[in-house]
Amino acid sequence: MGWHSAHYTTNSSIVGSLLCQINSLSRYRNRWTQHHRGLKNGWDVLRGETSISHRSRICRTQPTFSGILNRCLKGNRQQGRVKRCNFRIPHVFASHIINGASLSMELKEHINDIRNRLEQKLFLNETAVRLGIVDRLLNALGWETFDTQRVFPEYPINGGRVDYALCHPPGKPIVFIEVKRVGNIEGAERQLFEYAFHEGVPILILTDGQKWRFFHPSGAGNYQERLVRELDLITNDSEESSECLLKYLAYAAVQAGIAVQTIVADYQKVSQQREALRHLPEAWENLLSGTSENSEFLIEAVQSETEYLCGSRPTHEQIFDFLNALSKGTGIDLDLQTTMQKTPERPKAQRQQRQVNGNEVKPASPDPRLRSESPRKEKYTAYFQELIDQLREQHNFTKVRRAMKGQHYYAFASGSTGIKYVAGFSKQQKVYLRLSINFGDREKNTSFFDVLEERKAKITAQFDVPLYWDRRDGDGVLRCHIDAYRKGSIDSDASALEAFRAWHIENLLKFKAVFTPEIQRARETLQSR
């Protein structure tokens, strides 16, 4: 069962049926709840909760429908206040529990039979799909298809016609259904969305009988981004199919307003998941580039896991080759070589007991001295941690919270894949700031650098420090840098280090302000060529 049905049970049709009866009797609610506490409690459970799982989040147990009925009657029995009207509600509830269960079972039987007919390719045209699948399922979902004010066929709108308009109240569309012949569903969204735009319909359904696509047209994005659920009557089992149809299309659910609430909530979940998926490449890049506080664990984890599997620890170069191939295979451009420089080799150590000639051998405990930082590395760690904290807290420049241990530089994300702002100390007793261009491809690096260099004079004029434009070959990849320097060393005194940090902050902010639009302009220029 997929995410879409995680918060609904197979009794969703029953809840919808019960809510219809409650709504029809709502004019009596105040009088009943005033005199009969038990009935009020039953009302609140049924009226306020459209899913069993919501109730379970409150009390950690899942209520049953028989339990709900007992709760309705409990107060009446205890107080001895049994009147004629008191029995009406439980009998109505019981009737719809039976009818709801019957509806669910009947719907599954219809779905199973339709699946068999689809597999036999018995629906040869759109009319066959409408009569043999759509009408049949609507009847099973509680819609009286002969009532053309509720199931409005060929609903006229803006010079066109939509195949079905499901209406509540009569004549007011809530759901539009557009039907195509089997296998002809692709590319039909535009017309359906145009219909919905003119009527403000909250639920759109596009189907060819086998596939059912449920859209929330009021959402943001293109047609695909407003797709909430796709159901396939052949590949999805009858249980999953019936639950999906019941929660979006059951007459009781539409009449009670539950269907609209459900598709809005499900759209929000899908939208959030899509947003998370969109940021996965950036998250992966941040891990490899060192801009994430979790970066330091990545290379170590790959080395340790490989060693666990085969007993041999891969080198940084081997990991680089593997991750570079992986990133190219997934279409992600990452600054992998930079990552290799950031994680020092660790002496070989076994993670777990291993067998030698059939006997388990415990690994030797690693020497703790091998894990301690040198005084110089401690200075680097402290320097960049303070730099990161100030940039995050005072300038909102980064979201990073932890510096890499013992590293003589730190690479900040620019917001553009393959480009980093790097602050660091060089071996030539210099403090530097660098715009690093590395797409992992010589031609891409060269082209991008050349486009930026065409505006070298305009870019340089915006800085109070000289900029050095440089190309460097290494590991078969041409890397391009734009650097700013000043004299300095990590071994300088505290006041000098504070001055270096202020210089780094000032110029990081300047680099970002100047280069962000230049990077965008360079990308657009290359795309247009």
pLDDT digits (tens, 9 = 90+) for 79-123: 443 333 333 333 333 333 334 445 556 899 999 999 999 999 999
User: What pLDDT digit, counting tens, does each position of 135-171 carry?
Assistant: 999 999 999 999 999 999 999 888 788 999 999 989 8
The top-scoring range by mean pLDDT among 42-51, 96-105, 378-387 is 378-387
Residues 6+ positions from 403 with CB-CB distance below 8 Å: 381, 384, 385, 387, 388, 410
Using DSSP's 3-state secondary structure scheme, residue 428 falls into coil
Q: Which residues pair with 430 in a beta bridge?
A: 426, 487
Amino acid at site 19? L
What DSSP letter does each residue of 5-52 carry, written as one string? GTT--TTHHHHHHHHHHHHHTGGGHHHHHHH-HHHHHHHHHHHH-S-H
Q: In this structure, are residues 205 and 175 in contact, taking their beta carbons and an 8 Å threshold? A: yes
Backbone angles phi, psi at 111, to 5 degrees: -60, -45
Residue whose C-alpha is closest to residue 431's, from 504, 327, 502: 504
Confidence of residue 443 (pLDDT cuts 50, 70, 90): confident
Which segments of 271-336 are extended strands (E)? none
**Nearest 10 degrees: Cα torsion 291, 297, 299, 305:** -150
Using DSSP's 3-state secondary structure scheme, residue 357 falls into coil
**What global pTM score does this model have?**
0.47
For position 147, what pLDDT does the model report?
A: 94
Is the pLDDT at 292 greater than 70, yes or no?
no
Residue whose C-alpha is closest to residue 15's, from 53, 51, 55, 66: 51
State both tokens at 46.
């049924």
Is the pLDDT at 341 greater than 50, yes or no?
no
Is the pLDDT higher at 170 or at 23? 170
CB burial readout 415-448, b (16+ within 10 A) else e? eebbbbbbbbbeeeeebbbbbbbbbbeeebbebb
Query: Which range is least confidently modeled, 216-220, 294-298, 482-486?
Result: 294-298
Q: In this structure, are residues 21 and 92 in contact, taking their beta carbons and an 8 Å threshold? A: yes
Is the pLDDT at 298 greater than 80, yes or no?
no
User: What pLDDT digit, counting tens, does each position of 51-85 carry?
Assistant: 333 433 334 333 443 344 344 434 433 444 333 33
What DSSP letter does each residue of 81-102 carry, written as one string? ---HHHHHHHHHHHHHHHHHHH
Q: How far apart are CA 456 and CA 127, in angstroms?
A: 66
Using DSSP's 3-state secondary structure scheme, residue 406 falls into coil
Q: Work out the mean pLDDT of the chain and round it to a whole number.
A: 75
Give percent of the chain with pLDDT exceeding 90.
Answer: 41
Q: In the predicted model, what is the mean pLDDT of residues 30-39? A: 40
Sign of the Cα torsion 233, 238, 241, 245 reads positive
For position 126, what pLDDT does the model report?
A: 94
Amino acid at site 31? R
User: What pLDDT digit, counting tens, does each position of 461-477 carry?
Assistant: 999 999 999 987 655 55
